């Protein structure tokens, strides 16, 4: 019982021993405390519940993998980084002629900063000398998953780590604790540890990469009548996604109105905080496109009285505007070369002092663009009452 005043004990209670999580697969070696030259490859598989655990203890003879033993773990327990378990009756074993496997108690200390177990044995058999065991858990010490644009700083604590591309250890990718591969997608590596020339079995290590992508087009065509465009973003990533253009605030909607031609920086962010950016161009191929209404009513009522020209360029040079009746008789001509803007009036009956009777007329508009290109537009125009 805790040595504290009764009142304090009632208020706070005793400080219970804390169990650390050591579940998983551990690899290492056992060697006699007085003979380091003959290590025995050893591994632990631990299934933990609270402060107790079960699992398996495996060991093979030095440079003789055909001689090995598999013990069930009994009476496993851990608290405050200290623990122990017993190995008594093998599930299976193959022993060298004249030899046998030792049984007894394994006491260990858990070093979480290195993912390491340091253990000592106390054997029952008199001919079995006390030994030391050193075990590492091949485990990725980094954030996982990674964002697509992250530098993949992969760190695995252990002993002489080797990274393979396949479980058969045919393709060695890297040797060392810290590896920085270039990864665009989730990838499985197969890693081993090597103790005094004895390479352990492979452990699969999955490095997750957040599958972010922008699949919407990188170019949007502007409307020639307004010079504006609409962008609907399609992207992948862990939802919910957020979107923004340039340095504006993020929004939940994937739809944007692009106000003017040019380049926009589109950024998509997912719920993991990963971001991906793409340049979107709003372009217009409207230099050859001029818009005039197909009909107007120059009757002086203030509604649709004027013939207006629309385009998306900054300006044009008006060279000539001619209006003909259906027999080809010239009714009006404007041939004073001058700069005009989109939305500017070309002609009105009141301005010319001439009233046109209702009917179908033909016009010819001649302009020069800022690039020096000469355009001629010839169309019909209906004059209404």
**What is the CATH number for 260?**
2.60.40.1080
pLDDT value, residue 108: 98
Residue 295 has pLDDT above 60, yes or no: yes
Q: Looking at beta carbons, which pairs linking 284-287 to residues 24 or more positions away fall under 8 Å?
A: 284/221, 284/222, 284/224, 284/227, 284/312, 285/221, 286/222, 286/224, 286/227, 286/311, 286/312, 286/313, 287/313, 287/369, 287/371, 287/373, 287/375
Where do runs of H (alpha helix) occur along the chain?
Answer: 6-12, 349-352
Residue 6 has pLDDT above 60, yes or no: no
Does 202 lie in the same domain as 246? no
Whole-Å CA distances, 202 to 117, 165, 207 = 19, 11, 15
pLDDT value, residue 87: 97
What is the distance between the alpha carbons of residues 6 and 129, in angstroms, rounded to a whole number? 47
Give 299-332 pLDDT, tens digit per residue: 777 787 788 888 767 788 999 999 899 889 998 8
Which value, to the nearest 10 degrees, does the dihedral of the CA atoms of residues 88, 89, 93, 94 take? Answer: 70
- The answer to the question of residue 2 being in a domain is no
Does 184 lie in the same domain as 226? no
Residue 283 has pLDDT above 90, yes or no: no
Average pLDDT of the residues in 256-263:
88
Q: How far is CA 170 from the centre of its chain?
A: 30
pLDDT value, residue 228: 80
Residue 175 has pLDDT above 80, yes or no: yes
Give 329-369 pLDDT, tens digit per residue: 998 888 888 999 888 888 776 655 667 788 899 999 999 98
**Mean pLDDT across the chain, nearest whole number?**
86
What is the distance between the alpha carbons of residues 330 and 339, in angstroms, rounded to a whole number? 24
Q: In this structure, what are the phi and psi dihedrals at residue 200, rounded to the nearest 5 degrees?
A: -75, 165
Q: Choose among 358, 372, 383, 367: nearest CA to 290.
A: 367
pLDDT value, residue 14: 42
Give 177-199 pLDDT, tens digit per residue: 999 999 989 999 999 998 877 88
- The answer to the question of residue 9 being in a domain is no
**Looking at the chain, how many residues does it have?**
385
Give 98-111 pLDDT, tens digit per residue: 778 999 999 999 99
Which value, to the nearest 10 degrees, does the dihedral of the CA atoms of residues 30, 36, 38, 41 take? Answer: 30
What count of other Cβ atoms lies within 10 Å of the Cβ of residue 210? Answer: 20
Does 111 lie in the same domain as 42? yes
**What is the CATH number for 337?**
2.60.40
What is the distance between the alpha carbons of residues 75 and 263, in angstroms, rounded to a whole number? 67
Give 163-173 pLDDT, tens digit per residue: 999 999 999 99
Does 126 lie in the same domain as 31? yes
pLDDT band, very low/low/confident/very high, at 9 (cuts 50, 70, 90): very low
Q: Decide: residue 236, CB within 10 A, 0-12 exposed, 13-18 middle, 19+ buried.
A: middle
pLDDT value, residue 320: 93
> Which residue among 73, 101, 136 closes a domain?
136
Average pLDDT of the residues in 370-380:
85
Does 372 lie in the same domain as 325? yes
The proportion of the chain whose per-residue pLDDT surpasses 70, expressed as a percent, equals: 90
- The answer to the question of residue 64 being in a domain is yes
> How many structural domains comprise the chain?
4
Residue 51 has pLDDT above 90, yes or no: yes
For tokens 């000592």, what's the residue? 120
The residue range of the domain holding 260 is: 213-283
- The answer to the question of residue 148 being in a domain is no
Q: Choose among 118, 110, 114: nearest CA to 135.
A: 118
> Which residue among 207, 224, 245 closes a domain?
207
Say which range, 26-35, 111-120, 274-283, 351-360, has the weakest mean pLDDT: 351-360
- Torsion sign, CA atoms 197, 202, 203, 204: positive
């Amino acid at each position: 019982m805790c040595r504290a005043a009764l009142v304090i004990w009632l208020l706070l209670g005793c400080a219970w021993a804390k169990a650390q999580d050591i579940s998983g697969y551990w690899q290492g070696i056992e060697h006699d405390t007085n003979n380091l030259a003959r290590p025995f490859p050893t591994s632990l598989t631990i299934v933990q519940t609270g402060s107790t655990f079960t699992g398996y203890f495996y060991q093979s003879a030095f440079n003789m993998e055909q001689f090995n033993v598999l013990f069930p773990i009994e009476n496993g327990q851990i608290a405050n980084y200290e623990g122990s378990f017993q190995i008594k009756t093998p599930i299976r074993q193959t022993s060298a002629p004249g030899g046998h496997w030792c049984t007894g108690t394994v006491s260990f200390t858990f070093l979480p900063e290195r993912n390491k177990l340091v253990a000592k044995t106390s054997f029952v058999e008199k001919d079995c000398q006390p030994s030391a065991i050193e075990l590492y858990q091949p485990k990725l010490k980094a954030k996982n998953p990674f964002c697509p644009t992250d530098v993949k700083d992969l760190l695995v604590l252990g002993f002489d780590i080797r990274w393979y591309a396949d479980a058969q250890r045919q393709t060695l990718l890297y040797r060392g604790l810290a590896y920085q591969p270039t990864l665009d997608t989730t990838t499985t590596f197969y890693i081993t540890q090597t103790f005094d020339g004895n390479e352990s079995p492979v452990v699969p290590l999955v490095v997750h990469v957040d599958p972010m992508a922008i699949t919407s087009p990188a170019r949007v065509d502007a409307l020639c009548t307004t010079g504006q465009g609409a962008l609907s973003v399609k992207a992948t990533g862990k939802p919910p996604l957020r979107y923004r253009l340039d340095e504006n605030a993020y929004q939940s909607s994937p739809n944007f109105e692009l106000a003017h031609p040019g380049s926009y920086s589109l950024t998509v962010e997912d719920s993991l905080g990963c971001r991906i950016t793409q340049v979107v161009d709003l372009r217009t191929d409207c230099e050859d496109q001029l818009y005039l209404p197909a009909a107007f009513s120059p009757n002086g009522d203030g509604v649709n009285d004027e013939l207006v020209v629309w385009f998306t360029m900054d300006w044009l040079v008006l060279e000539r505007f001619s209006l003909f009746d259906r027999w080809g008789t010239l009714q009006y001509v404007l041939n004073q070369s001058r700069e005009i803007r989109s939305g500017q009036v070309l002609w009105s009956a009141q301005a010319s002092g001439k009233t046109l009777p209702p009917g179908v007329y033909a016009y010819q508009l001649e302009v020069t663009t800022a690039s020096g290109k000469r355009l001629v537009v010839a169309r019909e125009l209906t004059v209404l009452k």
